[in-house]
Amino acid sequence: MHSAADIDVIVGGAGVAGTAAAAAIQRLGYTVMLAEPGLNDERRLAGEVFHPPGVAGLAELGLLPALMRAPAVTVNGFSVSTDSESIRLPYDSVSAHRMPGLCLEHRLIRQRLLDAVRALPNVTVKDGARVVHIEQAGASGLVVRLADDRGTTNYRCRLLVAADGAQSRIGNLAGIGVHNRRISTIFGYRIGVENLPQDDYGHVFLGAGTPILLYPIGAGEARVLFDIPYVSGQRPDGAECLAMAAVLPKDLRREVEQAIAANSRMTVLTHATATDRSALGRVVLVGDAAGSCHPLTATGMTMCIADALLLQKALRERSDHVPGALELYQRRRRWPQATRLALAEALREAFCGTSPELRVVRNGILAYWRRSAAGRAATLALLSTADGRPLAYLRQLAAVVLRGFAGHLRSPTDDRVSTLRVARALIATLFRQIRQMRLVAGGFRARSAGTLNTRPE
């Protein structure tokens, strides 16, 4: 055992998950050290949307005032558009939503949250430092080694919070397995808001092969995201974005094409990651470190805040036993996380798929949203993470499948595909979702948690 300085809690990573966790834990009277490795945010694309539950959580942590200053903007829901219609999913249709959503450029989110946490009592920010070694020290605590440009320092602490993003290095050091699957490359461009169909809504445009996401990030500014599926050996470029932009409304398309031509883009490689567990001994994972999904549902930022509050609650209830508190956190987190991962994967599969069976599912989703106000509200509650119950998700999936199949009976999506084949594929989808969600919630050991695969077995 190395000699070490004492600190109650170390948080590795000072992004949204790390700053929220530090703010939550220090309220319990713990002394917290936040290790900030330092990241270049200038061209790094990351989450910029908080759904209403995330905004409410920020308020509960006392962090919302730091983010609400200009140029932050509120959003009132999302709109899903095809070439023939737009379907609005307003946040206020969900009774659990007490306030609108919030959008802001990620660089400003990160900077403002870190500044706010620096000013909190019991919090020390160690700039330029990262966790490089962990020694679990049995019942008494653990030793964490931090490295910076001056060398390494050992700290003896009661708890280590891994908030270092997807494919967490800290989780790896602690012995927690991470399963990773590359999904796509997303290119992001900055545009104005003048040509948005509605500037207080986020937008999802269908019809380009993969959904195009567009949302405001500040007064007079918006972000448009193009999702290029991963193909081994192929490198995506702006030409693919130009081809996809053809489905946008004319004036918006012209503005987006100009932004693409200017080539001032930001990029992110998207992965679906799942961990074997979200806590081990006195190490706990929060935010994307504990599992991530495609950003189509924009749940990443909101989940960071939810994790911080869930960890705070568990530590408060089991203040006498940190490992027991972390087990409680893990148990309470597993089903909402399984629901979130499954929903994101299923939606993307449905909106991107080209098989007749996936077209049936996509048509069922749009018909369900078009014709049922209760269905829109129930779906949005899942999308925003206000409802993380797996049974609620499976009920919505069943409703979508039934609507899609009924539509197929009236007007087959492909005459070459038999109705029996479609029925078998849709039934297999429902059972596969149940099986995969159980695997994910039971330990996050499914590499492709929640994959919507409608090919008959």
CATH number at 307 reads: 3.50.50.60
Q: Which of residues 254, 271, 288 is at a domain's end?
A: 271
Domains held by the chain: number:
3
The mean pLDDT of 340-352, rounded to a whole number, is 89
Range with the lowest mean pLDDT among 1-5, 188-192, 250-254, 418-422? 1-5
| Partners of 124 in beta bridges | 33
8-state DSSP, 296: G
Q: Is residue 94 part of a domain?
A: no
| Separation between Cα atoms, residue 172 and residue 182, nearest integer Å | 18
Q: Is residue 314 part of a domain?
A: yes
Residue 238 and residue 282 in one domain: no
Residue 109 and residue 14 in one domain: yes
Q: Which of 42-46, 272-276, 402-406, 420-424 holds the top average pLDDT? A: 272-276
Residue 326 and residue 288 in one domain: yes
Q: How many CA atoms lie within 13 A of 297 on its CB side?
A: 26
Is residue 347 within 8 Å of residue 63, measured between CB atoms?
no
Residues with Cβ within 8 Å of residue 299, at least 6 apart in sequence:
51, 293, 340, 344, 383, 384, 385
Residue 362 and residue 396 in one domain: yes
Q: Is residue 399 part of a domain?
A: yes
Domain around 345: 336-441
Residue 62 and residue 174 in one domain: yes
The mean pLDDT of 355-373, rounded to a whole number, is 89
Question: Strands, DSSP E only, in 13-148?
Answer: 32-36, 49-50, 73-75, 77-81, 86-90, 101-103, 123-127, 130-136, 142-148
26 vs 320: which has the higher pLDDT = 26
Range with the lowest mean pLDDT among 33-42, 263-272, 385-394, 420-429? 420-429
Predicted model pTM:
0.91
Residue 312 and residue 293 in one domain: yes
Burial code (b: 16+ CB inside 10 Å, e: under 16) for 121-135 equals ebbebbeebbbeebe
Q: How confident is the model at residue 447 (pLDDT cuts 50, 70, 90)?
A: very low
Is residue 56 within 8 Å of residue 347, measured between CB atoms?
no
Residue 384 and residue 236 in one domain: no
**455 has a pLDDT exceeding 90:** no
Q: Is residue 91 part of a domain?
A: no
Q: Is residue 97 part of a domain?
A: no
| Separation between Cα atoms, residue 311 and residue 287, nearest integer Å | 11
What is the pLDDT, as a whole number, of residue 4?
60
* CATH code for the domain in which residue 203 is found: 3.30.9.30
Q: What pLDDT digit, counting tens, does each position of 176-230 carry?
A: 988 889 999 999 999 999 999 999 999 999 999 999 999 999 989 999 999 999 9
Mean pLDDT over each residue of the chain, to the nearest integer: 89
Residue 107 and residue 154 in one domain: yes
Q: Which of residues 333, 353, 382 is at a domain's end?
A: 333
Residue 287 and residue 167 in one domain: yes
Residues with Cβ within 8 Å of residue 360, at least 6 apart in sequence:
404, 405, 407, 408, 413, 422, 426, 454
What is the pLDDT, as a whole number, of residue 142?
93
What is the pLDDT, as a whole number, of residue 456?
30
Residue 151 and residue 205 in one domain: no
- Helix or strand run (H / E) with residue 173: helix 169-174
Residue 378, amino acid: A
| Separation between Cα atoms, residue 21 and residue 159, nearest integer Å | 12
Q: Is residue 83 part of a domain?
A: no
Q: What pLDDT digit, counting tens, does each position of 285-317 carry?
A: 999 999 999 999 999 999 999 999 999 999 999
Residue 297 and residue 173 in one domain: yes
